[in-house]
Amino acid sequence: MSAVTDSGSPGRWRLWVRQGLAVARLEIGRNFFGLRALGLYLLALAPLGIILLLAWGRILGLFGAPETPPPAGDLAREYGAFFAGLQSRLVIFFVSLLVFTRLFRAEVQQRSLHYYFLTPVRREVLVAGKFTAGLVAAGLILGTTTVLTFLGHFLPLTRAAGSTDYATFLSRGGGLGQLAGYLGVTLLGVLGYGAVFLAAGLFFRNPILPALAVFGWEWANFLLPPLLKRISVIHYLQALQPVPPPEGMLALLADPPDPWLAVPGIVAMSAVFLVLSALRLRRAEIVYGEE
Amino acid sequence: MSAAVDHAQAAGSDRRIVFDDVSKFYGEVLGINRVNLVLDPGITGLVGPNGSGKTTLFNLATGLLRPSRGRVSVLGLGTDRPEELFRLVGYATQFDSFPKGMTGLGFVESFLRLHGYANAEARRLADEAIERVGLSRDAGRKVAGYSKGMRQRIRLAQAMAHHPAVLLLDEPLNGLDPMVRSEMIGLFRQLAEQGLHVVVSSHVLHEVDLISDRVVLLNNGYVVAEGEIQGVRSEMERHPMKILIRCDRPGRLAARAFEEDGVVEARLVEDEKGVLVATRDADSFYLMLNRVVLEEGLTVETVLPVDEDVQSVYRYLIGANGGGAS
C-alpha cells in the first residue's frame, strides 16, 4: 500500500490539494450531470431564449415596423442593460443559490454528509473542495450562457441586416474585449454569491429565507445610500461591467468603485464567507434526527 | 491489516479507546451519561435496546458528535482531528443512506480517493474490500438497487477498505441472511486476530454473544454492565432466543426445526408465511437452517431475531440495579 503522507508542510499541502480535488470531482459527478441538474440548465439558458426571441422579434418586425439595425454601440448598451437586469440580478443569483446552498444542505437532507466526516479530510479542505465544485459547475454553466447571450444579441442581426458593422465590432471593435469583461463579471458573481450561499446552506436549516433577504437587498441596491451600496455584490458587479447600465431615475448615485478595488473586494468578501463556513463545519455534528 | 496496526503503533503507544466521564445531551434529551470505558484490542460488543446510547457512543468515538462533557480518545488521538483519526479508524454507521447515483465500487473507491490515494491504489483497495465482504459480483451495480444486506456489506467494505486499526460497526448484522451473517462473524474474528479493535453493536444480545470477547451493556444512556462474555452467556442459556423466519414453506421448516436439539418451540405465524422458532442454541439452529435451505431448496425471505426474550434478559441483567447509573 502506498503511503498517504501528510507529514511535513509541502507534503501536507499536496495531500490537501489532492483531497480537495477528489471532493470536487465527486461533487461535480453527483450534482451536475443527469436529470437532477436539468432545472439548473434550463434556468441558466433562459436568458438565451429571451435574447434570441428579442433579436428575431426585431428582425421580423414583431415590435413595430422593421427598422434600420441600430449602430453596434447602441446594441452594446442594450446588452449592458440586459446583462445587468436579467443576467447578473436574476440568473447568476438564482443559479448560484441553487448550486451552492445544495452543496451541504442536500447532503444533510439525504443523510449522506457523514461519509465525508468519516474520512481523513480536514473540514476546511471539504469546504474548499465543495466550493471548487460549485465554482467550476456554475462558472461553466453561466459562462456559457454569457457567451451565448452576447453572441445571440449581435449575430442574428448581423446576418439579417447583412451589416458588417457588428462583425467588425465583434472581431476588432472591442466586442471580444467586452465579452471577456462580461465573462469576468459572471465568474466574479458566481464567486461572490457562491460563497454567500454556501455559508447560508451551512448556517440555516432553510436557506431560502436568508437567500430571499439577500435578494431583496441586492435588488434594492440602487435605492440605497452610497455607504450601504458597498455592502452588496451587485454594486461591484455592475461597476465592473464593460458597459455599465443606467442606474434609473430613483437611484441614489454613488461613485462606482474602482475595478482595482472591486475585484479584490469581492474576492476578500468570498474569503470571509468561506472562512466562516469552514469554522461552522469544523464545529458541525451529525444529527439527522435519530439515535 | 497488520500495516494498519503497525501504523497505529507508530502513531502512539496508547492502543485503547477511552471514554473519560463522557456525557452527551441532545438539548435536554440524554444520549449517554457519565460513561467511563476503556476498550482494548479484540472484539467488544456493545449491546442495549434501541435508544440505549450505542450509536451515540460510536458517534462520539468518531467525532460525528462532540461530548457535552468529558473526553474521548482513540489510540491516544482526540476525536476533533478527523485528518489523523480516520487514517486509523473505520466506521460503518447505521444510517441506511448513500450518496445518490453511485455504484458499490464507485462508492468505496471515491471515498478512498478522499483519503488521498491515487486512482490505481484506490481501485485496488476498493476491489480488495469488496471481495472480503463478498460483493464482487455486484460491485458494478447502483447501490440504490442493493438489498438491505448488500447495503450493509458495502458500508462495511467502505469502513475497512483503508485498513484501519479500529473498526466500529453499528448493528453490522442487521438484514444479513444466515450464511452471510456467519461469514461476516468469521471476518470480524479474523480482523480481531490480526490485532484490530473491532467494536460491534447490536440490540440482540445473542449476536454479541456469538461475536465478542467482552461485552458492554447499555441502557437509557448508562453503562450498566461490562466484562467478559461468559457471565452473560450462562444467563442466555436459561432464556431461549426467538427467531422469526419468513420463507416459502414454513411448515416444512417447522418440522425440521423440531428435530433439532435446543429448539423448544416452532410455530407458524398468523399469516402462515413464516415460522417462529424458540431455541436455547441459536448457533446450532443457524447451522441447521443453512442445511435445510440447501437440502430442501427453501426460499428464505428474512431471518429476524425477535426481541421479546432478549428484553427479558435485559430486564434480568439490568433490572437488578434498576437501569440506573453504573
Three-class SS of chain B: CHHHHHHHHHHCCCCCEEEEEEEEEECCEEEEEEEEEEECCEEEEEECCCCCCHHHHHHHHCCCCCCCEEEEEECCEECCCHHHHHHHEEEECCCCCCCCCCEHHHHHHHHHHHHCCCHHHHHHHHHHHHHHCCCHHHCCCEHHHCCHHHHHHHHHHHHHCCCCCEEEEECCCCCCCHHHHHHHHHHHHHHHHCCCEEEEEECCHHHHHHHCCEEEEEECCEEEEEEEHHHHHHHHHCCCEEEEEEECCHHHHHHHHHCCCCEEEEEECCCCCEEEEEECCHHHHHHHHHHHHHHHCCCEEEEEEECHHHHHHHHHHHHCCCCCCC
A121 interaction partners in chain B (CB closer than 8 Å): 82-83, 114
Smallest Cβ–Cβ distance between A287 and the set B26, B93, B116 belongs to: B26
A6 interaction partners in chain B (CB closer than 8 Å): 83, 116
Q: Which of A214-223, A241-250, A254-263 has the lowest mean pLDDT?
A: A241-250
B62 touches A at CB < 8 Å: yes
Is B324 a residue whose pLDDT tops 60?
A: no
Output the CA–CA distances (angstroms, integers) from residue A265 to A214, A225, A244, in the order listed. Answer: 18, 19, 18
B100 touches A at CB < 8 Å: yes
Give me the pLDDT at residue B323, please.
Answer: 41
The string of pLDDT tens digits covering residues B80-132 is 989 999 999 999 998 888 988 899 999 999 999 999 999 999 999 999 999 99
The string of pLDDT tens digits covering residues B223-255 is 877 877 666 656 656 667 788 899 989 999 999
Cβ pair A118:B62 closer than 8 A = yes
**C-alpha cell belonging to residue B275:** 415460522
Indicate which of A16, A115, A132 best probes the interface with B, i.e. most B CBs within 10 Å of its own CB.
A115
| Mean pLDDT of all residues in A43-54 | 91
* Cell 451515540, located at residue: B56
B82 touches A at CB < 8 Å: yes
| Nearest-CA distance B90 → chain A (Å) | 7
Above pLDDT 90, what percent of chain A?
47
| Mean pLDDT of all residues in A39-43 | 91
In this structure, what DSSP letter does residue A66 have? -
Indicate which of A1, A104, A108 best probes the interface with B, i.e. most B CBs within 10 Å of its own CB.
A1
| Mean pLDDT of all residues in A223-235 | 83
Quote the ipTM score: 0.80
Cβ pair B97:A1 closer than 8 A = no
| Mean pLDDT of all residues in A142-165 | 81
With bands split at pLDDT 50, 70 and 90, how would you rate the model's confidence at B325? very low
The string of pLDDT tens digits covering residues A93-143 is 999 999 999 999 988 888 899 999 999 999 999 999 999 999 999 999 999
Is A159 a residue whose pLDDT tops 70?
A: no
B103 touches A at CB < 8 Å: no
Cβ pair A120:B85 closer than 8 A = yes
- Angle, alpha carbons A203-A192-A188 (nearest 5°): 160
Q: What are phi and psi of B45, to 5 degrees?
A: -105, 130
Above pLDDT 70, what percent of chain B?
87
Give me the pLDDT at residue A255, please.
Answer: 67
Q: Which of A237, A200, A240 is nearest to A218 (CA)?
A: A237
A38-42, A128-132, A224-228, B210-214, range with greatest mean pLDDT: A128-132
The per-residue pLDDT of chain A, averaged, comes to 85
Smallest Cβ–Cβ distance between B95 and the set A2, A111, A285 belongs to: A111
Is A154 a residue whose pLDDT tops 60?
A: yes
Cβ pair B65:A121 closer than 8 A = no
The angle that helices A259-282 and A123-161 make with each other, rounded to 10 degrees, is 140
